[in-house]
A and B are shown apart, each in its own frame.
Chain A
Amino acid sequence: MLIHKLIGNIVYRRIKECDAKSIIEKNLSKLESSGTFKNRFIVIFGANWYAEFVMNYFNQHNIRIDAVIDNSDKKCGNYLGSVKITKPEDVMLEYKENALVIIATRFASEMIEQLKGMSYSKRKHVYVIKGLFTDERKRLKMQLFDMLIAKLKMSKGYYVYEKLVRKYGENTTFLVIPVRGTGDVYIVCAHLRKYLYEKKINNYVLLLPTISGRKIASCFGFEQTEVIPISEIVFLKDFAGFVGYENLNVKMMHWAQTKNDGIVSENFPFSDDLTMVDVYRKTVFDDIFIREKMKRELNEPVINEIFQKNGILENKTVIISPYAQTFMGLPLKTWDNIIIRLKKAGYQVCTNTGTKEEKPLPGTIPLYIDYKTIIQVVEKAGYFIGIRSGLCDILSEADCKKIIIYPKCINMENTRKFFSIVNSGLDRRAIEIEYNNEDDFEERVVGLIVN
């Protein structure tokens, strides 16, 4: 039992470490604290999904990226954030002593060889993000223990299931939301009631990995909830997918049912005219898809207090939400220009900060608003500008002017389609714009608010 627990914890750790965003942030903050970025010509090599996290980190810490390079002809000419993607030779061929090339891809060794060919040294000029990929040799070694690890994981998943069944009984259906995303929790909860009714599920528990997720569920009146660690949810998900959902009282409320389902989880949804809502509708809700809105507490005094306490003006305040999980943030300079212009036009500007790490934008009033009142607060403020995040799903219910920004990212066309609030039918009135690094971007955003 003890050995099982010990090895289980190792597997746990590995799953925790699978959070690419936090791995990248950890790597880069170490470099930043040691002063590595000072006076360097910073280059991102490989314009992939991970490079967006790298770019996001630099944007948030106001550190300039000098170039983004990629060997793919298709990617060159596009933008990663505000930086144009170019061929490695175009930037690196002219030797730069102070170059620092950051690599976050599986093909680091090939890239290092390419850089060596242009006289750069691995030790002096290259930093490969550590812990993101298991290298090939390690991977092959791990393959020898493949079945041992699989057995442990499945047993762990079973114990999570057993614990739940013993607590809630064999007649309980466990509805699992296996992701932390606010938007995912919102979409599930908004469509859950009718589904439960049609499927005749009365005795259920909603399992969520975060307290904020539970709060959203509560806004829809779902109180039979339990927060369990994401690692346990991952074990349960893998176990349930392996044994077969039809053999358990588990219903996975997410479109990627298991890690090896291939079709749904990685390849398909992003490549067609599907939105996230469509994908939920088809794969989770069996087309039983009637939307319900969040319960609004008529809490006028609380909302008035928020306005008075922070000195916010009704119908003349713009609430900015600059942070998101999936999409990159905008450069601070861009936000600065937007804020200055809004203030000039007579608007008050607030930053919605969800956590302590999310710092308010300079020159704005910081606001921490509970999910229960956020719709009313934004409606009373009158205006919202935000990077596409889960908050935009919640605010799709709000009756006010909303501008949702989609920063340029890899595979932009399909990603934007997939997450679009307007295309998915969640909110037809929202204005969705792409951050394209054009000079008039700030003016365009403010123009949409003012006019």
Chain B
Amino acid sequence: MVRLSITKKLLKEKLKSACKGYRIYRKIKKANNIKKEDPVIVFPYGDKECIIHTLTYLDQFIDKLMVKPTGVYIITDIDNLEIYTNYTKKNKIKKIININSIELNQLIDYYSCSDFFGNMFIGSIVLPQSRIGKEYIGFNNITKEDLIVKGVLGIREYTKASSTVGGEKFADS
């Protein structure tokens, strides 16, 4: 049983957080001159596999976009994301923008309540919190890779990569 008063308070807090997320996003867009056709991928801390698969399929992701971007921007709260992105082809990633975890959660709150997110992708299968894709893993031989490539990046028909970014380096670290 959840009391109405608590729900109302929760909604207020979430909206406040989303407003902050909205300001952060606008600030980032302005400061980096992000064009409307440039995809912005948000990587929250904690899902290494998701990062690796996303970066592995970055080329195919760009290929499927109708309007070709000048590059991809990444927003993250992970300090050393470069250890992964260094293995991607040059010039694909325009910039990695670091923000703290609180700001990143605010950004995800904004994403969750807003209507106009054509070019923002959350690189996670558990965030925002209503994402329930992980339930599919293991069912009908569905892998996490399938889920990320098809579900998060929206590449319905993809060519399986022979190796992931960084190859063996990140395989079981």
A residues apposed to B, CB below 8 Å:
107, 136, 139-140, 142-143, 146-147, 149-151, 153-155, 158, 161-162, 165, 170-171, 238-239, 241-245, 247-249, 257-264, 266-268, 270-274, 278, 282-283, 411, 414
State how many angstroms separate the Cβ of A179 from the closest Cβ of chain B: 16
**A244 and B7 contacting across the interface, CB-CB below 8 Å:** no
**B115 and A247 contacting across the interface, CB-CB below 8 Å:** no
Residue of B nearest to A139 (CB): B116
User: Could you say which residues of chain A place their CB within 8 Å of the CB of B115?
Assistant: 142, 146, 149-150, 259
**A267 and B130 contacting across the interface, CB-CB below 8 Å:** no
Chain B 69-126 residues near chain A, CB threshold 8 A: 109-118, 121-122, 125
Can you list 20 residue pairs at the A/B interface with Cβ under 8 Å?
A143-B116, A146-B115, A147-B114, A158-B7, A170-B2, A238-B113, A244-B10, A247-B2, A247-B7, A257-B130, A260-B111, A260-B114, A261-B131, A263-B132, A268-B147, A272-B136, A273-B140, A278-B140, A282-B135, A283-B135
A270 to B151 CA separation, bound complex (whole angstroms): 10
Residue of B nearest to A150 (CB): B113
Partner of A262 from the list B6, B8, B152 (CB cut-off 8 Å) is B152
**B154 and A283 contacting across the interface, CB-CB below 8 Å:** no
Report if A242-B112 is in contact (Cβ < 8 Å); known contacts: A158-B11, A170-B1, A261-B131.
yes
* 9-residue interface stretch from B15-23, B52-60, B165-173: B15-23
**A261 and B132 contacting across the interface, CB-CB below 8 Å:** yes
A149 to B110 CA separation, bound complex (whole angstroms): 12
- B163 proximal to A (CB < 8 A): no
In addition to A262-B151, A272-B140, A283-B135, 7 A-B residue pairs with Cβ atoms within 8 Å of each other are A243-B10, A257-B130, A258-B130, A268-B136, A272-B142, A282-B135, A411-B156
User: Could you say which residues of chain B place their CB within 8 Å of the CB of A411?
Assistant: 156
Partner of B36 from the list A140, A263, A274 (CB cut-off 8 Å) is A140
State how many angstroms separate the Cβ of B16 from the closest Cβ of chain A: 10
- B3 proximal to A (CB < 8 A): yes
Shortest beta-carbon contacts, A-B, top 8: A263-B133, A263-B151, A241-B130, A268-B151, A150-B113, A258-B130, A271-B156, A282-B135
**A243 and B150 contacting across the interface, CB-CB below 8 Å:** no
User: Could you say which residues of chain B place their CB within 8 Å of the CB of A268?
Assistant: 133, 136, 147, 150-151
Residue of A nearest to B21 (CB): A147
**A165 and B4 contacting across the interface, CB-CB below 8 Å:** yes
Report if A154-B113 is in contact (Cβ < 8 Å); known contacts: A261-B132, A263-B125, A283-B135.
yes
- B14 proximal to A (CB < 8 A): yes
Number of residues of chain B lying within 8 A (CB) of chain A: 48
B residues apposed to A, CB below 8 Å:
1-4, 6-8, 10-11, 14-15, 18-19, 22, 36, 66, 109-118, 121-122, 125, 128-133, 135-136, 139-140, 142, 146-147, 150-152, 154, 156-157
State how many angstroms separate the Cβ of A224 from the closest Cβ of chain B: 18
User: Could you say which residues of chain A place their CB within 8 Å of the CB of B19?
Assistant: 147
Residue of A nearest to B139 (CB): A282
**A278 and B132 contacting across the interface, CB-CB below 8 Å:** no
A184 to B157 CA separation, bound complex (whole angstroms): 27
A170 to B136 CA separation, bound complex (whole angstroms): 32
**A264 and B131 contacting across the interface, CB-CB below 8 Å:** yes
State how many angstroms separate the Cβ of A395 from the closest Cβ of chain B: 26
Residue of B nearest to A11 (CB): B115
**A257 and B132 contacting across the interface, CB-CB below 8 Å:** yes
User: Could you say which residues of chain B place their CB within 8 Å of the CB of A258?
Assistant: 112, 128, 130
**A107 and B151 contacting across the interface, CB-CB below 8 Å:** no
**B156 and A270 contacting across the interface, CB-CB below 8 Å:** yes
A170 to B1 CA separation, bound complex (whole angstroms): 6
User: Could you say which residues of chain B place their CB within 8 Å of the CB of A266?
Assistant: 154
**A147 and B136 contacting across the interface, CB-CB below 8 Å:** no
A257 to B132 CA separation, bound complex (whole angstroms): 8
State how many angstroms separate the Cβ of A413 from the closest Cβ of chain B: 10
User: Could you say which residues of chain B place their CB within 8 Å of the CB of A249?
Assistant: 1-2
Report if A248-B7 is in contact (Cβ < 8 Å); known contacts: A154-B15, A264-B151.
yes
State how many angstroms separate the Cβ of B157 from the closest Cβ of chain A: 8
**B7 and A171 contacting across the interface, CB-CB below 8 Å:** no
A366 to B135 CA separation, bound complex (whole angstroms): 44
State how many angstroms separate the Cβ of A328 from the closest Cβ of chain B: 21
Residue of A nearest to B153 (CB): A267
**A260 and B117 contacting across the interface, CB-CB below 8 Å:** yes
A267 to B154 CA separation, bound complex (whole angstroms): 5
**A146 and B22 contacting across the interface, CB-CB below 8 Å:** yes
User: Could you say which residues of chain A place their CB within 8 Å of the CB of B125?
Assistant: 263
